[in-house]
Chains A and B, each alone.
Chain A
């Protein structure tokens, strides 16, 4: 019985120590019982205030430090580039046997006379696979952020999109006419660039971008609803994943065959890979536009 209050006291003290109480511990039991229970509110306000002053101090010092770091960095880099191999010299270390091999054996190795295409699709294709994954991830994360799905819909957004739909109806006549004439040619050009990446500047990335740009032009002239006639959300996500999946599978097989010294069963696959990359890129470009403008695809 007599133990009770003392035990209680031990606990309160411990608890207040855990909370960071700085009260002297040598006060008598009587005083401890007299004392009100510790209130947390003031400490929290105190904490908030301290945080705020910290923030202010941070913002006062930050620019100075940033300017200092940036200037140092620029000076160091300037010093560095002046010590680097001179611009445009053939004897620079970067122009070594690797580049020579890409140029001289690229065509027989990969069947593409454009050395850059040969490099990004065959020699260093794993990087390009990673790069396509970056594009895929970017669209996915933008979808995570901006896609409207009714769950976290607030009224403002709904109204906004309604207004936009209204505006779409009264599209600009010049834009409409121009788009009407241009879009087919843009698509044609895109396909041309897409399919000729091996022998001329171009390939999946450039062709896909042009294709995406054509879609954007079409969509901004005639409204997204008309795009949705040929490509609704399901089709879009199908094409998007299909492109990357095709690419990943083809390239996975290519790596597997290559690394194990099996004959190259996929000799003519560069075209297919270009096509797959083109699909991924076109979907990415158009997806960005659609998501940023209306939050829908």
Chain B
């Protein structure tokens, strides 16, 4: 058991991070902290994804001349997926931060609870 945990240390760390991020996203009333939580969650997924492609003793997947042998390099697929994932996460973070900035300008607060009460009042 302990050996598996140690061997899978990256995956276990990723899951713990995922939990922290998930809790933050769900529980925090502060919108900014929710975004931080979301980022932690995404990083956890990327950590898990990146750790999948690693093979002990192998090097980065840049094929050198005369060494075209797949058993020398790590798996390039997860790295590529992580790259895509990071870009998506950056975009979404920017979008939500812009939204929060806008909400703050209008209501002067970013506490979700207060915001919901204010919005209820504003509706017809």
Please determine if A and B sit in direct contact within the complex, based on CB atoms under 8 angstroms apart: yes
Q: Once A and B bind, how many residue pairs between them come within 8 Å at the CB atom?
A: 168
A145, B101: Cβ atoms closer than 8 Å: yes
Query: Which A132-181 residues have C-beta < 8 A from chain B?
Result: 134-135, 137-139, 141-142, 145-146, 157
A141, B9: Cβ atoms closer than 8 Å: no
| Chain B residues whose CB sits within 8 angstroms of the CB of A199 once the complex forms | 62
B95, A141: Cβ atoms closer than 8 Å: yes
Q: Which applies to chain A's interface (DSSP): helix, strand, loop or mixed?
A: helix
Query: Which A82-100 residues have C-beta < 8 A from chain B?
Result: 82, 84-90, 92, 94-95, 98-100
| Chain A residues whose CB sits within 8 angstroms of the CB of B76 once the complex forms | 99, 102-103, 115-116, 118-119
Query: Which B98-124 residues have C-beta < 8 A from chain A?
Result: 98-99, 101-102, 105, 113, 116-117, 120-121
- Bound Cα distance A84, B117 (Å): 45
Name the segment of A73-81, A183-191, A249-257, A265-273 touching the other chain. A73-81
B80, A288: Cβ atoms closer than 8 Å: no
Closest to A138 in B: B91
Closest to B54 in A: A88
Closest to A101 in B: B70
Closest to B97 in A: A292
A11 contacts the other chain (Cβ, under 8 Å)? no
A52 contacts the other chain (Cβ, under 8 Å)? yes
Name the segment of A22-30, A106-114, A240-248 touching the other chain. A106-114
B62, A115: Cβ atoms closer than 8 Å: yes
Q: Which residue among A88, A94, A284 has the maximum number of chain B CB atoms within 10 Å of its CB? A: A88
Residues of B participating in the A interface, judged by any CB pair closer than 8 Å: 1, 4-5, 7-12, 14-16, 18-19, 22-23, 26-27, 48, 51-56, 58, 60-65, 68-71, 73, 75-80, 83-84, 87-88, 90-92, 94-95, 97-99, 101-102, 105, 113, 116-117, 120-121
Residues of A participating in the B interface, judged by any CB pair closer than 8 Å: 48, 51-52, 55, 59, 63, 66-67, 69-71, 73-74, 77-78, 81-82, 84-90, 92, 94-95, 98-100, 102-104, 106-107, 113-116, 118-120, 124, 127-128, 131, 134-135, 137-139, 141-142, 145-146, 157, 199-201, 205, 284, 288, 291-292
Beyond A94-B77, A102-B61: 12 further Cβ-contacts under 8 Å?
A: A52-B120, A74-B22, A81-B14, A82-B5, A88-B7, A88-B55, A92-B52, A102-B77, A115-B61, A131-B88, A134-B91, A142-B94
6 contacting pairs across A/B (C-beta < 8 A): A70-B23, A81-B8, A100-B70, A103-B61, A131-B87, A291-B98
